[in-house]
Amino acid sequence: MTERPTVVSGVLAVVAGVAGTVAVAQTTPLRLAVAVAGAGLVVFTLGVVAARSRSRGLGILVALTGLAGAGGGTAYGATVASEQLHLAVVAPGLVGTFLAALGVAPLRGSGSRRFTKIACWLVFLGPVLSAGMEYGSAVQVLTATVAAALVWDLGENSVSLGRQVGRDARTFWNETVHGFGALLMGGVAAGAVYVSQGYSVGSSSLEAVVFLLVSVVLLVVFLHR
């Protein structure tokens, strides 16, 4: 049995990291740059998976191409950011997404739950900074927060499932249902928070939303240590 992270959940975890980081980017050029860098990290993930299976040479080439794309997107983002603080908001998410990729597509070993957990917190730092600097809307903060939770949930599922049944087992539908369920639960939770903040009598500031979301994320991480 090949004890490596499963592919579907692993790739979706990286995609979630990209989505969460794009959500807090403040300008269209910066969103494009983050999307390009994120696409490069997805390609890198697929390349590492291929390199550790039967297509070592091709996989290495694909992984290097992905890294080049990620580096190019990051460099482009540094040139188009209208403020340095805009870069500070998206930088943790990009680093976190890279760690998520290493966690679910390890160069050696059977994956890393620690990397996926750290990746979750780094992606989550984006909406926290965005709200604290009053850059992002409530929708952006909520979207990025759900994405951060998905990074952890999907990454954890990829590593755990790979260790339990092996990557070669047929887990496509299991992973698809799990991913859809996680997305649905995250969407419902975010919608409930958005509605409750919209109709609350007290302060409806983004700080209140972030405080509540921090509490939720802390609880989730604690329960699934």
- Is the residue at 155 inside a domain? yes
**What is the CA 85 to chain-centroid distance, rounded?**
21
- Is the residue at 2 inside a domain? no
Which domain does 53 fall in, by range?
Answer: 7-223
**pTM of the predicted model, to two decimals?**
0.85
Domain count, the chain: 1
- Is the residue at 159 inside a domain? yes
- Is the residue at 1 inside a domain? no
Spell out the per-residue pLDDT of the chain, length 225, in tens.
466 788 888 999 999 999 999 999 988 999 999 999 999 999 999 999 888 887 888 999 999 999 999 999 999 999 988 788 888 999 999 999 999 999 998 888 777 889 999 999 899 888 888 877 777 677 788 888 889 989 988 998 888 887 777 656 677 777 788 778 777 877 777 776 666 665 444 445 555 566 556 556 655 654 455
